[in-house]
Amino acid sequence: MAKNDALNEKTVSESGKTGFALGKKNYIALAIGFVILVIGYALMVGGGSDDPNVFNPEIFSFRRITLAPIVLIIGFAVEIFAIMWRPRSK
Could you read off the pLDDT of 58-84 as tens digits, one per residue?
888 999 999 999 999 999 999 999 999
Whole-model pTM? Answer: 0.72
Query: What confidence score (pLDDT) does residue 35 get?
Result: 98
pLDDT digits (tens, 9 = 90+) for 23-48: 899 999 999 999 999 999 999 998 77
Greater pLDDT, 16 or 31: 31
Confidence of residue 11 (pLDDT cuts 50, 70, 90): very low
CB 22, CB 83: distance < 8 Å: yes
Query: What confidence score (pLDDT) does residue 20 get?
Result: 81
Query: What confidence score (pLDDT) does residue 54 get?
Result: 86
Burial class (CB in 10 A: 0-12, 13-18, 19+), 34: middle
User: Can you say whether the dihedral through the CA atoms of 45, 46, 47, 49 is positive or negative?
Assistant: positive
Greater pLDDT, 41 or 10: 41
Give one word for 26, left, alpha or beta, with left for phi > 0 and alpha for psi -120 to 50: alpha
